[in-house]
Structure 1
Amino acid sequence: MLVVQDIIANKENFIEALKKRNFDTSVFDKVIQLDEQRRATQTELDQTLAESNKISKEIGQLFKSGKAAEANELKAKTGTLKEQSKTLTDQLSEAQSELEKLLYTIPNIPHDSVPSGQTDEDNEEIFRFGDIPKLEATALPHWELAKKYDIIDFELGVTITGAGFPVYKGKGARLQRALINYFLDKNTEAGYKEFQVPYLVNEASGLGTGNLPDKEGQMYHIGNDDLYLIPTAEVPVTNMFRDNLITEEELPILCTGYTPCFRREAGSYGAHVRGLNRLHQFDKVEIVRIEKPENSYQVLEVMVAHIKGILEELELPYRVLRLCGGDLGFTSALTYDFEVFSTAQDRWLEISSVSNFETFQANRLKLRYKNKEGKKQLVHTLNGSSLALPRVLAGILENYQTSDGIRIPKVLIPYCGFDMID
């Protein structure tokens, strides 16, 4: 969430920057108007309360002086002031609520390096690694390989729950578990502390990370308890620090965690959403960092390098994209997407996003730190998928297939306990 004072001070710059997002910035005028109304009401309330306190002291002195009649006359005035203060308090609360609702609708300001553009076709490729494998003419997409080797059952998932909830079986389940453990080990070796977190969060947590109200329709809601199934571990992990004032010595904070993720997102029909390409429930290992503002963009590059290293150990061909303004997530100032090439599908599959949110989440979370001079300021938050499993698994199944079966990447064999799915 943007800070009102920043909007007032940088209105024209923000309007220009948000052109990259094609966002209607007329809301800024409403924000400034509401803030002026809020401040005027606050001033009037303060003056009313001050006058009421002053008169109360005068009443006490009059009673002590035996001037009861004059004291009683003033008491009537305090009653009027109390009514006025109550009305002003209600007006102030309403103005603050309306202002907050407006601020929740404004996306983050894109970093200067974010390219202009409206769709994912305008994203900027900045890095590519690996050669595209040459598969045999009989090569299959992963959903057919899953059926052939009986490792993932999509139809059974439909029977149990519905489309988008696959059942992993035998070596498919073991490979899934191997990937989770491998990702967590790589992250903890890099200094991230592992956490196991709840899969349900309250509304305050959704608001804190910016998933609410922006993605409310994409999140599964448990009505009776007013809780949400998490769309990513980022939500509970980042909210562990909500309403915290941390010391400079505690920074940076590095967290990692594995969770299943749940998303209601509806997809179109076709091969691009078949099999593991788009799911309502999937597994993901996340990394989250809390940093001093001056370090966050250097750290973002460190996170990118960390994920590059994992994909290169898996020997999967991948590329890195800098997202354009039109494809940038609501909360992000700058995002890099990682995509693995699926040779069998002849297309790129997104498998990770690494983002710097600057102070956008921290302001919602009321997450600050106190520097050595004692000044309190908002931290920067960052997160990344390290990694999302479905499309990584799809890439492995498709790119490692042979006429004899599916080879397992060398780095995963110790985790799997086997080197071939056949």
Structure 2
Amino acid sequence: MLQLQRIREDKKDMVKALAKRNLDAEAMLDGILRLDEKRRGLQTDLDNTLAASNKLSKEIGMLFKSGKAAEANALKEKTAGLKELSKSLSDDLNDTAEELKNLLYQIPNIPHESVPAGSSEDDNEETFSAGDIPELQKDALPHWELAKEYDLIDFELGVKVTGSGFPIYKGKGAKLQRALISYFLDKNTEAGYTEVQPPLLVNEASGFGTGQLPDKEGQMYHVQADDLYLIPTAEVPITNMLRDEILVENDFPIKLTGYTPCFRREAGSYGAHVRGLNRLHQFDKVEIVRVEHPEKSYEALNEMVEHVKGLLNELKLPYRILRLCGGDLGFTAALTYDFEVFSTAQDRWLEISSVSNFESYQANRLKLRYKDENNKNQLTHTLNGSALALPRLLAGILENYQTDKGIKIPEVLVPYCGFEIID
């Protein structure tokens, strides 16, 4: 959520920056400023009314002590009027503050100056690529066919048990999935991240804290009886562990990692681009989260990008990194780098990670602050990234490592799997 002070001071620049998102924000920001002015006016009136009421109450007490009951009772009628006025002002203030908060929730984060303008994924900028695309045999198969041939993943059985988008991993497919999770967690903890195992359901406050609510409400599974949400990513519970906290500068950096299943109610569609593991309602992901001093958050972002690069380099997969344009940037992010692995059998790039800096946008919602050198509360910066999301990565491994003798296992995963080939 954007800070009101920043809107008051930098509205013109913010309108220009939000235009990168193809958003004409001037009218919305003007509406926010008008409501903020109204809110501050109501607060002043309420403070003055309460002060007058308190002063009058003291005068009444003195009059009773002085035996001037008649004068005291006369003033009590005036006190009753002030109390009624203060209640009316308080109600108006609460309504205005709620309306203001709801308007602020509708404004996305300000893109970083390096974010390119653009309207779709076609306008994203490639910043890095690595790895050689393997030449496969002529009868190379996409991962959903490989999964069936080697009995690794049963998509039809998942439909029977739950529905489309809930695959069942079997045998060596399940072991490879578990190996990837363990490998990523080990690499993350070696890099200084503390492992946590968070809940898979969160309350509404957590959804608002990291920005999934109200923006992505339709994409989340909602347990209505308990008013809880299944997590779309471990970012939500891990970041919310620090909600309403006030840190000190020595606490930085805070580096956390966790594995969770993730749940997303994405709209259904058909075609090869969503077949198999390409789009799921339940999937596994290992997440990295950082809370940083504002002056060091972009240095931290670069470190996170290099960390994910290191994972993919060790897996020896062809991949590229994209800087997302304004039109493709997530609602809460200031800058995002997407990692994509090349699926040789599908002849297309598959997104496997997003690494983002949210600057103070999430922290303002979370009320996540720190004491600066002057002992004043300041908002932290928050960051997160996938390290890594498994479904499309697993698809890339199955497809890129297939041979006429079977599917080889990336060398770094062999100690975790206990086998070198799926045959």
Give the TM-score range, shorter chain.
over 0.9
Amino acid at match of 2:356: S
| CA offset digits 1:120-147 (Å, max 9, x no partner) | 0000000000111000000000000000
Q: Deviation at 1:24?
A: 3.3
CA drift of 1:372 comes to 3.2
User: Counterpart of 1:418 in 2: which secondary structure?
Assistant: coil
What is the alpha-carbon distance in structure 2 between the residues aligned to residue 362 and residue 10 of structure 1? Answer: 19
Paired with 1:189 and 1:372, the residues of 2 have a C-alpha distance of 31
The residue aligned with 2:328 is 327
Local SS of the residue matching 2:135: coil
Give the match for residue 118 of structure 2: 117
CA distance in 2: counterparts of 1:2 and 1:266, whole angstroms: 29
Matches within 5 A, 1:381-400: 381-400=382-401
1:13 Cα deviation (Å)? Answer: 0.3
**CA positional deviation for 1:5:** 1.1
Alignment partner of 1:235 is 2:236: yes
- Given the alignment of the two structures, is residue 3 of structure 1 paired with residue 3 of structure 2, yes or no? yes
**C-alpha RMSD of matched pairs (Å):** 0.6
Show the 5 A alignment for 1:23-34.
Answer: 23-25=23-25, 26-34=27-35
SS of the counterpart of 2:327? coil
Q: 2:167: which partner in 1?
A: 166
Amino acid at match of 1:18: L
Instruction: Report deviation, 1:374.
Output: 1.2
2:250 counterpart letter in structure 1: E
For 1:297-308, list aligned pairs within 5 A. Answer: 297-308=298-309
Q: Which amino acid aligns with 2:196?
A: F
Shift of 1:320: 0.2
Q: How many angstroms does 1:204 deviate by?
A: 0.1
User: What residue identity is the alignment partner of 2:16?
Assistant: E
Q: How many Å apart are 1:17 and its aligned residue?
A: 0.2
Matched, 1:272 2:270: no
- Distance in structure 2 (CA, Å) of the matches to 1:60 and 1:283: 67
Q: CA deviation at 1:66?
A: 1.6
2:81 maps to: 80
Distance across 2 between alignment mates of 1:372 and 1:123: 39
Equivalence for 2:245: 244
Q: Report the counterpart of residue 345 of structure 1 in structure 2.
A: 346
The whole-number CA distance in structure 1 between the counterparts of 2:122 and 2:268 is 18
Following the alignment from structure 1 to structure 2, what is the Cα–Cα distance between the partners of residues 368 and 114?
26
Q: C-alpha displacement at 1:266, in angstroms?
A: 1.2
Distance in 1 separating the partners of 2:221 and 2:131: 38
Residue 63 of structure 1: CA displacement? 1.3
Q: Deviations over 1:371-395 (max 9, x none)?
A: 2331210000000000000011000
Secondary structure of the equivalent of 1:326?
helix
Instruction: Return the offset for 1:267.
Output: 3.4
Letter of the 1:399 counterpart: N
Query: CA offset at residue 350 of structure 1?
Result: 0.2
Partner of 1:417: 418
One-letter code aligned to 2:205: A
Q: Distance in 1 between matches of 2:24 and 2:44?
A: 31
1:14-72 deviations in Å (ceiling 9; x for gaps) = 00000011123121111001101100100000111111111111111111222111111
The share of aligned pairs that are identical, in percent, is: 72
| Mapping of residues 48-63 of structure 1, within 5 Å | 48-63=49-64
Counterpart in 1 of 2:176? 175
Residue 102 of structure 1 and its aligned partner are, at CA, apart by 0.6
Name the SS of the counterpart of 1:345 in structure 2. coil
TM-score by length of 2: 0.99
CA offsets 1:129-171 (integer angstroms, 9 cap, x no match)? 0111000000000000000000000000000010000000000
Q: Check if 1:40 corresponds to 2:41.
A: yes
Q: Deviations over 1:347-405 (max 9, x none)?
A: 00000000000000000000001123312100000000000000110000000000010
Q: What amino acid is aligned across from residue 11 of structure 2 in structure 1?
A: K
Give me the whole-angstrom Cα distance separating, in 1, the residues matched to 2:374 and 2:183: 41
**Aligned twin of 1:373:** 374
* Matching of residues 122-201 of structure 1 within 5 Å: 122-201=123-202
Mapped to 2, the partners of 1:220 and 1:23 lie a distance apart of: 28
Paired AA for residue 14 in structure 2: F
**Rounded Cα–Cα distance in structure 1 between residues aligned with 2:171 and 2:132:** 30
**Aligned residues of 1:267 and 1:278 also touching (Cα < 8 A):** no
| Aligned match of 1:21 | 21
Runs of 4+ residues over 3 Å off in structure 1: none
**Amino acid in the other structure paired with 1:179:** L
Distance 1:129 1:76 in 2: 80
Amino acid at match of 2:105: Y
Matched to 1:19, the amino acid is A
1:308-327 CA distances to partner (integer Å, 9 max, x unpaired)?
A: 00000000000000000000
The one-letter code sitting in structure 2 at the alignment partner of 1:353 is: S
Shift of 1:268: 2.1
